[in-house]
Amino acid sequence: MKIVPRSLRWRLQLWYGAWLAAVLTAFTASAFALVRDSRLRRIDAEIERRMVALGAVFRPPLRDALRPPGPEGRPWFRPGERRPAAEGRSPEEAGAVSGGGPAGGRRPGEPPFFAPPAGAMEALEASLFSQDGPDRFYYRILGHDRFGERRSAGAPPDVPRPAPPPMDFVVRQTAEVREHVRRLRGGTLTLTVGKYIGPDLAELRRLSWILSAAAAGIWALGVVGGAWIAARAIRPVETIGHTAQRIAAGDLSRRIPVAETDTELGRLAEVLNATFDRLCEALARQTRFTADASHELRTPVSVILSQVESVLARPRPAEEYREALEACMRAARRLRHLVESLLTLARFDSGAPAGERERVELDGVAAEALALLRPLASERRLELVADLAPTACVGRRDQLLQMAVNLVSNAIHYNRPRGRVEVRTWTDGDARLEVRDNGIGIRSEDLPHIFERFFRADPARGAADGRAGLGLAITRTIVEAHGGQVEVESREGEGSRFTVRLPSHPEPLAPDDAGNDTRIEKTNR
Amino acid sequence: MRLLVIEDEPDLRSGIARSLRDEGYAVDMAADGEEGLFKAENWTYDVILLDIMLPRVDGWELLRRIRRRGTTPVLMLTARDTVPDRVRGLDGGADDYLTKPFSLEELLARVRALIRRGAGRPSPVIEAGGAVIDLNARSVTRQGERIPLTPREYALVEYLALHRGKVVSRTELYDHLFGDDEDTMSNLLDVHVSNIRKKLGHDFIQTRRGHGYCIE
């Protein structure tokens, strides 16, 4: 079972979802903590303000503070104690301390107890510990644990009597209240000021809900938006895959639709389309070549078959057998020529080693080609003109001879009676061979194609005289295999000029060396 | 039956023509599109064998022009064997399509079929005038007995049988039985007719004076 989906899109999605959730959680949590802390600080400040006020009320005059505790060790403050009458207060006025039972009068010599001024506690309670409104504070005053305590109205009744706090100042918080407990006067007086924080906590809870809802909303938005963008981003990949599949299935004309050329995928699609174009072209060329080759092979085979079949059908005069055999011979020669040409091309195509390269006199090669073709030229009443300057190049003599023969025989075939074929060799840094004729020329629309295999300007012409349309293709292949180039200029009806440029032999031609077979290293040039 | 072979490869042309002549057909030949078009437009042929890759006027164009004028069955001979090429040929009006290299036997069978269909008699056996003419075996039998005929005599019988019940003029017979390279003496037809009558009986071929001949 797979837990992590394999799809790129879903993996991205998962990653972004998780990451976004983590970020949002952290952000929300810290925001909440910040708000809560600030709220608590504000509460603490309020509590402290009241604590100070409360403390001020209970602060004894300085002299009391300096006086040691009473001889009985009584605390300076006792809840429920009445004020000394000398101070002119009614017992009711001193009722700030509650819960105390009836107490005796002040004994003489006893230091006066501290007591808040009359009405101070009430004023304090009215102003700072009001139970109206949402912010309710309370206090609790605890004397030495032998004595009672005083609580403001609204102080939680159920707050347990605190154990003596281990420290002078403690902050306590329960679900309902937050209170500060401060020990004063060496632990004899414990002041507790608290606040009902229910409303605050409710507000904080509301805030936490709002924050969570907002975070969830943002998360959902992010995930959905991410899914949308991921889907959009992935769609071209799916299109590309789909198209490639169709192409692989044989629909070679199909291309990837390129809508956005600026994105990475758009550029990828363009590159792929260009690749498909080139593949398609190569395939088409290959198909055409095969079709052409089979076409060229079919005709001579048809000749042989029909000739043999027809003469074998019944006994015939010797003359007819002879004619049939001659026809078969011609067809077989044509086949041989075709097969040799195809083999030559195939050998070059497969990148077979070119063999030993040697110094070749291009003028000698041209002269030999002319000698070979002179009978054909005179048969067609053509004039062959040679202007051969000594020129040396590097290569294989047999191939260069084939190249020259192809060019000259081409010039002879596509000529007119009493036409003229000129062959020149010279050197201008490179070794040069030029074959020029004043024959029928080549149509300008055919010029770019004449070096293609099986190309014939007139498809029917040449078929009858056994020319398959491979001569110029072989010529170019040979020249390029020698590191040279062949060019053609032609004007229809005026003639053509083929120019071959080959790397020349590095050493100048020594007069006594001419014609000798000078081997050179392959790497020489 | 008179056929036209339009093929630019001379050795192939001569081989096909030799076989067709052996079968008793009159064969005309053309080496390029122009010559082929000229002959196709000026003579009546029973079948035209047409190569596609032709100098001057190519096979497609030639087919188009032949079809503009008449219904002569055309058999295309070509080295192009791809389906689009065949479809193009047949859609262009060719009646049949044969790719090179082909067997002569098949070529002859297709020619026979085209001739039958061209005459509106797809069955290869015709009964006429009390004789059975087997177009495939190129034989004539009468009461189960095979009558020996020369190819030319057979061709004459076949032509008349294919146009059975119709009067065929002497000119038409000359046109369809003799090639353009044959010296046709005016009485050659009469010689053949009289020989056939000797073999198959006088009433087999009827003479309609001033009109021509007829097999009932």
CA gap A445, A457 in Å, rounded = 9
What is the model's pLDDT at position A61? 54
Is the Cβ of A330 closer than 8 Å to some Cβ of chain B? yes
Contact B18 A458 (CB under 8 A): no
We report the CATH number of the domain holding residue A403 as 3.30.565.10
Chain A residues closer than 8 Å to B11 by CB: 303, 307, 327-328, 330-331
Same domain (yes/no): A340, A448? no
A359 in a structural domain: yes
Comparing CA positions, the residue from A414, A470, A462 lying closest to residue A438 is: A414
Same domain (yes/no): A407, A506? yes
What is the model's pLDDT at position A326? 92
Contact A320 B18 (CB under 8 A): yes
A240 in a structural domain: no
What is the model's pLDDT at position A116? 61
Q: How many CB atoms lie within 10 A of CB A75?
A: 19
Contact A461 B101 (CB under 8 A): no
A41 in a structural domain: no
Domain range holding A316? 264-347
Same domain (yes/no): A383, A484? yes
Same domain (yes/no): A305, A275? yes
Q: Which CATH number does the domain B2-118 belong to among 3.40.920.10, 2.40.50.100, 2.40.10.350, 3.40.50.2300?
A: 3.40.50.2300
CA gap A220, A226 in Å, rounded = 10
Same domain (yes/no): A383, A462? yes
- The confidence band for A290, taking pLDDT boundaries of 50, 70 and 90, is confident
Mean pLDDT of A394-423: 88
Q: What does the block give as tokens for A209?
A: 């809900």
CA gap A497, A192 in Å, rounded = 117
> Among the three residues A292, A322, A347, which one is the final residue of a domain in this structure?
A347
Question: For residue A463, is pLDDT > 60?
Answer: no
A366 in a structural domain: yes
Which secondary structure element, helix H or strand E, spans residue A444, and what is its range? Answer: none
A293 in a structural domain: yes
Nearest Cα residue in chain A from B82: A291
Same domain (yes/no): A332, A410? no
Is the Cβ of A461 closer than 8 Å to some Cβ of chain B? yes
B87 exposure class (CB count in 10 Å sphere: 0-12, 13-18, 19+): exposed
Is the Cβ of A464 closer than 8 Å to some Cβ of chain B? yes
Averaged confidence pLDDT in chain A: 78
Identify whether the C-beta of residue B71 lies closer than 8 Å to the C-beta of residue B94: no
Domains B2-118 and B125-214 share a fold: no
Q: For the whole model, what pTM was predicted?
A: 0.57
CA gap A149, A272 in Å, rounded = 90
Chain A: closest CA distance from residue B23 (Å)? 10
Question: For residue A279, is pLDDT > 90?
Answer: no
> Among the three residues A299, A320, A347, which one is the final residue of a domain in this structure?
A347
Chain B: closest CA distance from residue A303 (Å)? 5
Of A310, A460, A464, the CB nearest to B19: A310
- The confidence band for B183, taking pLDDT boundaries of 50, 70 and 90, is low
Comparing CA positions, the residue from A191, A192, A153 lying closest to residue A173 is: A192
Chain A interface disruption, residue of B6, B7, B8, B11, most A CBs within 10 A: B11
Same domain (yes/no): A386, A453? yes
CA A3 to the chain's CA centroid: 25
Question: For residue A280, is pLDDT > 60?
Answer: yes
pLDDT in tens, A184-221: 766 667 788 888 888 889 999 999 999 999 999 999 99
> Among the three residues A316, A347, A378, which one is the final residue of a domain in this structure?
A347
We report the CATH number of the domain holding residue A288 as 1.10.287.130
Chain B: closest CA distance from residue A464 (Å)? 5
What is the model's pLDDT at position B106? 92
Is the Cβ of A309 closer than 8 Å to some Cβ of chain B? yes
Written as one letter, the residue type at B205 is I
CA A228, A230, A233, A239 torsion-angle sign: negative
A274 in a structural domain: yes
Q: In what order do the strands lie in the sheet with B74-78?
A: B26-30, B2-6, B47-51, B74-78, B96-99
Averaged confidence pLDDT in chain B: 86
Contact B79 A311 (CB under 8 A): no
CA gap A119, A94 in Å, rounded = 8
CA gap A200, A408 in Å, rounded = 108
Is the Cβ of A284 closer than 8 Å to some Cβ of chain B? no
Contact B19 A301 (CB under 8 A): no
Contact B14 A323 (CB under 8 A): yes
Chain B residues closer than 8 Å to A458 by CB: 55
Mean pLDDT of B138-149: 86
CB neighbours of A117 closer than 8 A, spacing ≥ 6?
A57
CA gap A464, A166 in Å, rounded = 123
A49 in a structural domain: no
Q: What does the block give as tokens for A11?
A: 């993996």
Q: In what order do the strands lie in the sheet with A189-196?
A: A149-151, A137-142, A189-196, A177-184, A169-173
Identify whether the C-beta of residue B5 lies closer than 8 Å to the C-beta of residue B13: yes
Same domain (yes/no): A322, A398? no
CB neighbours of B50 closer than 8 A, spacing ≥ 6?
B6, B36, B59, B62, B63, B66, B74, B75, B76, B77, B94
What is the model's pLDDT at position A54? 80
Range B125-214: architecture per CATH: Orthogonal Bundle (1.10)
Top-ranked range on mean pLDDT: pick from A33-42, A334-343, A497-506, B167-176: A33-42
Is the Cβ of A320 closer than 8 Å to some Cβ of chain B? yes
**A177 phi/psi in degrees, rounded to 5:** -130, 160
Of the listed ranges A62-76, A372-386, A477-491, A496-510, the one predicted with least confidence: A62-76
A469 Rama class: left (phi>0) / alpha (psi -120 to 50) / beta:
left
Identify whether the C-beta of residue A334 lies closer than 8 Å to the C-beta of residue A466: yes
Contact A302 B79 (CB under 8 A): yes
Q: Report the number of distinct structural domains present in chain A.
A: 2
Q: In what order do the strands lie in the sheet with A420-427?
A: A383-388, A420-427, A430-437, A495-503, A485-491
Instruction: For chain B, give every domain's residue range.
Output: 2-118, 125-214
Same domain (yes/no): A343, A358? no
Comparing CA positions, the residue from A189, A193, A188 lying closest to residue A156 is: A193
A393 in a structural domain: yes
Distances (CA, A) of A353 to A346, A503, B37, B205: 12, 18, 52, 77
